[in-house]
Amino acid sequence: MTGKSKTTKDITNVLTVVTPEMAFSWLESTDNRRLRSSRVRRYANDMEDGNWHVHHQGIAFGTNGRLVDGQHRLHAILVCGKAIRLFVARGVPTSSLVSVDEHLLRNAEDVARFTGLIGAHPVWFKIARAMLLFDKRGNLAMSRVQTINLTEKHRAAICNAATVRFGSDTCSSGALRGITITPVMAVLARAYYHFESNNLAHAIRLLKDGTTMGRLHPGDRSMLTLRDWLMKTASGQGGTGQHREKYLKTERCLAGYADCEDLTKVYSAKREMFPLPEDQEPRDDA
Protein backbone atom coordinates (compact mmCIF):
# COMPACT_ATOMS: atom_id res chain seq x y z
CA MET A 1 0.00 0.00 0.00
CA THR A 2 1.52 3.31 -1.04
CA GLY A 3 0.76 6.98 -0.61
CA LYS A 4 2.07 10.25 -2.01
CA SER A 5 5.18 10.17 -4.12
CA LYS A 6 7.88 12.82 -4.33
CA THR A 7 10.51 12.78 -7.06
CA THR A 8 13.89 14.53 -7.23
CA LYS A 9 15.53 13.75 -10.58
CA ASP A 10 15.68 9.95 -10.54
CA ILE A 11 14.92 9.53 -6.81
CA THR A 12 11.36 8.65 -5.78
CA ASN A 13 10.10 8.83 -2.21
CA VAL A 14 6.77 7.16 -1.47
CA LEU A 15 4.88 6.89 1.82
CA THR A 16 4.36 3.15 2.16
CA VAL A 17 2.74 0.78 4.65
CA VAL A 18 5.60 -1.66 5.20
CA THR A 19 4.49 -5.10 6.38
CA PRO A 20 6.72 -7.66 8.12
CA GLU A 21 6.65 -9.71 4.90
CA MET A 22 7.93 -6.75 2.89
CA ALA A 23 10.60 -6.04 5.51
CA PHE A 24 11.81 -9.64 5.36
CA SER A 25 12.02 -9.55 1.56
CA TRP A 26 13.87 -6.23 1.44
CA LEU A 27 16.43 -7.34 4.01
CA GLU A 28 17.51 -10.21 1.74
CA SER A 29 19.25 -7.72 -0.54
CA THR A 30 21.16 -5.15 1.47
CA ASP A 31 24.36 -3.10 1.39
CA ASN A 32 24.36 -1.80 4.94
CA ARG A 33 26.39 -1.36 8.11
CA ARG A 34 26.63 -3.75 11.05
CA LEU A 35 23.28 -4.30 12.77
CA ARG A 36 22.91 -2.84 16.28
CA SER A 37 20.45 -5.04 18.16
CA SER A 38 19.90 -2.43 20.89
CA ARG A 39 18.75 0.11 18.29
CA VAL A 40 16.40 -2.46 16.74
CA ARG A 41 14.91 -3.09 20.18
CA ARG A 42 14.42 0.65 20.80
CA TYR A 43 12.66 1.09 17.47
CA ALA A 44 10.52 -2.01 18.04
CA ASN A 45 9.52 -0.78 21.50
CA ASP A 46 8.25 2.48 20.04
CA MET A 47 6.40 0.64 17.29
CA GLU A 48 4.77 -1.72 19.78
CA ASP A 49 3.77 1.13 22.09
CA GLY A 50 2.29 3.25 19.30
CA ASN A 51 5.03 5.86 19.67
CA TRP A 52 6.39 5.48 16.12
CA HIS A 53 5.33 8.39 13.94
CA VAL A 54 5.75 9.13 10.25
CA HIS A 55 8.68 11.41 9.50
CA HIS A 56 10.99 12.14 6.60
CA GLN A 57 13.51 9.41 7.48
CA GLY A 58 12.61 5.96 6.27
CA ILE A 59 13.93 3.29 3.92
CA ALA A 60 16.28 3.82 0.97
CA PHE A 61 17.27 1.66 -2.00
CA GLY A 62 20.26 2.41 -4.22
CA THR A 63 20.32 2.70 -7.97
CA ASN A 64 21.11 -1.04 -8.10
CA GLY A 65 17.92 -1.85 -6.17
CA ARG A 66 19.68 -2.96 -3.00
CA LEU A 67 18.78 -1.66 0.46
CA VAL A 68 21.22 1.08 1.53
CA ASP A 69 19.47 2.66 4.52
CA GLY A 70 16.80 1.62 7.01
CA GLN A 71 17.78 -1.91 8.02
CA HIS A 72 17.20 -1.18 11.73
CA ARG A 73 13.66 0.02 11.02
CA LEU A 74 12.94 -3.08 8.94
CA HIS A 75 14.32 -5.42 11.59
CA ALA A 76 12.19 -3.59 14.17
CA ILE A 77 9.09 -4.26 12.04
CA LEU A 78 9.99 -7.94 12.07
CA VAL A 79 10.43 -7.89 15.86
CA CYS A 80 7.15 -6.13 16.62
CA GLY A 81 5.21 -7.92 13.88
CA LYS A 82 3.27 -4.81 12.86
CA ALA A 83 2.85 -2.97 9.57
CA ILE A 84 4.41 0.51 9.86
CA ARG A 85 4.10 3.56 7.59
CA LEU A 86 7.48 4.71 6.28
CA PHE A 87 8.75 6.79 3.39
CA VAL A 88 10.53 4.51 0.92
CA ALA A 89 13.09 6.14 -1.37
CA ARG A 90 14.39 4.45 -4.50
CA GLY A 91 17.18 5.35 -6.89
CA VAL A 92 19.46 6.87 -4.25
CA PRO A 93 22.95 7.29 -5.78
CA THR A 94 25.87 5.74 -3.94
CA SER A 95 27.70 9.08 -3.89
CA SER A 96 25.05 10.59 -1.60
CA LEU A 97 25.43 7.91 1.09
CA VAL A 98 28.64 9.41 2.48
CA SER A 99 26.58 12.10 4.26
CA VAL A 100 23.88 9.77 5.65
CA ASP A 101 23.82 9.75 9.50
CA GLU A 102 26.68 12.27 9.50
CA HIS A 103 24.74 15.00 11.27
CA LEU A 104 24.08 15.78 14.94
CA LEU A 105 21.61 13.40 16.58
CA ARG A 106 18.86 14.72 18.85
CA ASN A 107 19.00 13.49 22.41
CA ALA A 108 16.08 13.10 24.83
CA GLU A 109 16.46 16.68 26.04
CA ASP A 110 16.16 18.01 22.47
CA VAL A 111 13.06 15.93 21.75
CA ALA A 112 11.47 16.86 25.10
CA ARG A 113 11.24 20.47 23.94
CA PHE A 114 8.84 19.36 21.20
CA THR A 115 6.71 17.27 23.57
CA GLY A 116 6.06 19.93 26.19
CA LEU A 117 8.28 18.63 29.02
CA ILE A 118 9.36 22.14 29.92
CA GLY A 119 12.11 22.87 32.42
CA ALA A 120 13.60 19.38 32.36
CA HIS A 121 17.27 19.26 33.34
CA PRO A 122 19.49 17.00 31.19
CA VAL A 123 20.41 14.92 34.24
CA TRP A 124 16.74 13.95 34.70
CA PHE A 125 16.82 11.84 31.55
CA LYS A 126 20.04 10.13 32.66
CA ILE A 127 18.42 9.30 36.00
CA ALA A 128 15.33 7.92 34.24
CA ARG A 129 17.41 5.59 32.09
CA ALA A 130 19.47 4.48 35.09
CA MET A 131 16.29 3.57 36.96
CA LEU A 132 16.22 0.42 34.80
CA LEU A 133 19.81 -0.62 35.49
CA PHE A 134 18.77 -3.72 37.44
CA ASP A 135 17.78 -5.24 34.10
CA LYS A 136 21.16 -5.73 32.45
CA ARG A 137 19.92 -4.61 29.05
CA GLY A 138 16.66 -2.87 29.89
CA ASN A 139 17.94 0.68 29.85
CA LEU A 140 20.01 0.03 26.70
CA ALA A 141 16.80 -0.75 24.80
CA MET A 142 15.04 2.49 25.85
CA SER A 143 14.16 4.83 23.02
CA ARG A 144 14.14 8.60 23.42
CA VAL A 145 10.33 8.58 23.59
CA GLN A 146 10.37 5.94 26.33
CA THR A 147 13.00 7.90 28.24
CA ILE A 148 10.90 11.07 28.05
CA ASN A 149 7.73 9.22 29.09
CA LEU A 150 9.48 7.63 32.07
CA THR A 151 10.93 11.00 33.09
CA GLU A 152 7.54 12.69 32.91
CA LYS A 153 5.79 9.87 34.78
CA HIS A 154 8.28 9.95 37.67
CA ARG A 155 9.17 13.63 37.55
CA ALA A 156 8.59 14.25 41.28
CA ALA A 157 10.69 11.23 42.28
CA ILE A 158 13.52 12.19 39.91
CA CYS A 159 13.52 15.82 41.08
CA ASN A 160 13.72 14.67 44.69
CA ALA A 161 16.62 12.32 43.90
CA ALA A 162 18.45 15.13 42.12
CA THR A 163 18.64 17.09 45.39
CA VAL A 164 21.74 15.01 46.17
CA ARG A 165 23.39 17.03 43.41
CA PHE A 166 21.48 20.31 43.33
CA GLY A 167 20.83 20.66 47.05
CA SER A 168 17.78 21.26 49.26
CA ASP A 169 16.89 22.69 52.64
CA THR A 170 18.55 19.70 54.31
CA CYS A 171 21.32 18.88 51.82
CA SER A 172 24.22 20.91 50.43
CA SER A 173 24.39 21.65 46.71
CA GLY A 174 27.15 20.84 44.26
CA ALA A 175 28.63 17.79 42.59
CA LEU A 176 30.61 15.36 44.75
CA ARG A 177 32.86 12.84 43.03
CA GLY A 178 31.50 9.33 43.34
CA ILE A 179 28.27 10.39 45.06
CA THR A 180 26.31 12.58 42.64
CA ILE A 181 26.25 10.00 39.87
CA THR A 182 23.19 8.77 37.98
CA PRO A 183 23.11 5.18 39.34
CA VAL A 184 22.92 6.51 42.89
CA MET A 185 20.30 9.12 42.04
CA ALA A 186 18.28 6.49 40.14
CA VAL A 187 18.02 4.34 43.29
CA LEU A 188 17.01 7.41 45.32
CA ALA A 189 14.31 8.13 42.73
CA ARG A 190 12.88 4.62 43.12
CA ALA A 191 13.11 4.89 46.92
CA TYR A 192 10.89 7.99 46.77
CA TYR A 193 7.89 5.65 46.63
CA HIS A 194 8.99 3.59 49.65
CA PHE A 195 10.13 6.16 52.25
CA GLU A 196 8.63 8.93 54.32
CA SER A 197 10.01 12.18 52.93
CA ASN A 198 11.94 13.10 56.10
CA ASN A 199 13.50 9.65 56.31
CA LEU A 200 14.67 9.74 52.70
CA ALA A 201 15.95 13.31 53.12
CA HIS A 202 18.02 12.10 56.09
CA ALA A 203 19.50 9.29 53.95
CA ILE A 204 20.35 11.77 51.19
CA ARG A 205 22.06 14.09 53.71
CA LEU A 206 24.11 11.21 55.11
CA LEU A 207 25.14 10.22 51.59
CA LYS A 208 26.01 13.72 50.40
CA ASP A 209 27.42 15.40 53.50
CA GLY A 210 28.35 12.47 55.73
CA THR A 211 26.76 14.26 58.68
CA THR A 212 24.38 12.72 61.21
CA MET A 213 23.11 15.93 62.85
CA GLY A 214 23.78 14.32 66.23
CA ARG A 215 24.09 10.68 67.25
CA LEU A 216 23.90 7.80 64.80
CA HIS A 217 20.47 6.26 64.39
CA PRO A 218 19.97 2.56 63.55
CA GLY A 219 20.64 2.15 59.83
CA ASP A 220 22.71 5.33 59.45
CA ARG A 221 25.92 3.32 59.30
CA SER A 222 24.70 1.63 56.10
CA MET A 223 24.57 4.97 54.28
CA LEU A 224 27.95 6.07 55.62
CA THR A 225 29.47 2.75 54.56
CA LEU A 226 28.01 3.24 51.08
CA ARG A 227 29.33 6.80 50.98
CA ASP A 228 32.86 5.68 51.84
CA TRP A 229 32.79 2.94 49.19
CA LEU A 230 31.41 5.23 46.47
CA MET A 231 34.09 7.83 47.12
CA LYS A 232 36.88 5.22 47.17
CA THR A 233 35.70 3.76 43.84
CA ALA A 234 35.00 7.14 42.23
CA SER A 235 37.74 6.69 39.63
CA GLY A 236 35.92 3.71 38.11
CA GLN A 237 32.66 5.29 36.95
CA GLY A 238 33.03 4.32 33.32
CA GLY A 239 31.04 1.55 31.72
CA THR A 240 27.57 0.11 32.11
CA GLY A 241 28.88 -2.77 34.22
CA GLN A 242 30.40 -0.39 36.77
CA HIS A 243 27.26 1.74 36.80
CA ARG A 244 25.16 -1.33 37.44
CA GLU A 245 27.43 -2.40 40.31
CA LYS A 246 27.04 1.00 41.94
CA TYR A 247 23.28 0.83 41.41
CA LEU A 248 22.98 -2.62 43.02
CA LYS A 249 25.16 -1.73 46.01
CA THR A 250 23.31 1.54 46.54
CA GLU A 251 20.06 -0.41 46.54
CA ARG A 252 21.32 -2.91 49.12
CA CYS A 253 22.70 -0.25 51.46
CA LEU A 254 19.59 1.91 51.19
CA ALA A 255 17.45 -1.15 51.93
CA GLY A 256 19.69 -1.80 54.94
CA TYR A 257 19.13 1.78 56.08
CA ALA A 258 15.36 1.30 55.73
CA ASP A 259 15.51 -1.90 57.79
CA CYS A 260 17.72 -0.31 60.48
CA GLU A 261 20.69 -2.53 59.56
CA ASP A 262 24.13 -1.12 60.22
CA LEU A 263 26.10 -2.54 57.31
CA THR A 264 29.87 -2.22 57.54
CA LYS A 265 30.47 -3.71 54.09
CA VAL A 266 28.71 -3.07 50.81
CA TYR A 267 26.88 -5.88 49.04
CA SER A 268 24.94 -6.03 45.79
CA ALA A 269 21.17 -6.41 45.82
CA LYS A 270 20.07 -9.71 44.32
CA ARG A 271 16.75 -8.37 43.10
CA GLU A 272 15.11 -5.00 42.53
CA MET A 273 14.65 -3.60 46.06
CA PHE A 274 12.47 -0.59 45.26
CA PRO A 275 9.85 -1.36 42.60
CA LEU A 276 8.12 1.50 40.86
CA PRO A 277 4.36 1.88 41.45
CA GLU A 278 3.65 0.20 38.12
CA ASP A 279 5.73 -2.81 39.13
CA GLN A 280 3.79 -5.71 40.62
CA GLU A 281 6.19 -7.48 42.95
CA PRO A 282 6.69 -6.08 46.48
CA ARG A 283 10.17 -5.35 47.83
CA ASP A 284 12.00 -8.43 49.10
CA ASP A 285 15.17 -8.46 51.19
CA ALA A 286 18.38 -9.15 49.28
3-state DSSP assignment of residue 60: strand
Contact between residue 168 and residue 197 where contact means Cβ atoms under 8 Å apart: no
| 134 and 251 part of one domain | yes
Question: Same domain for 83 and 221?
Answer: no
Q: How far apart are CA 168 and CA 64, in angstroms?
A: 62
Question: Cα(48)–Cα(42) distance, rounded to whole angstroms?
Answer: 10
SS3 103: coil
Strands, E assignment, 45-201:
59-62, 67-69, 84-92
Residue 57 belongs to what domain range? Answer: 2-94
Contact 48, 95 (CB under 8 A): no
Q: Residue 42 is part of a domain; what is its CATH number?
A: 3.90.1530
Mark whether 119 and 44 lie in a shared domain. Answer: no
- Checking if the pLDDT of 105 tops 60, the result is no
The answer to whether position 276 is within a domain reads: no
Mean pLDDT of the chain: 83
Q: How many domains does the chain have?
A: 2
Whole-number pLDDT of residue 77:
94
Distance CA 91, CA 199 (A): 63
113 and 196 in one domain? yes
Strands 84-92 and 59-62: parallel
The answer to whether residues 54 and 115 belong to one domain is: no
In this predicted structure, the answer to whether residue 104 has a pLDDT above a threshold of 50 is no
pLDDT at 168: 62
Whether the full predicted model's pTM is greater than 0.85, yes or no, is no
Least confident among 234-243, 246-255, 270-279: 234-243
Tens-digit pLDDT profile for residues 20-74: 999 999 998 876 777 888 889 888 988 988 888 888 889 999 888 889 889 999 9
* CA dihedral (147, 150, 153, 154) positive or negative: negative
pLDDT digits (tens, 9 = 90+) for 134-144: 875 555 567 77
pLDDT tens-digit map of 238-248 = 677 888 999 99
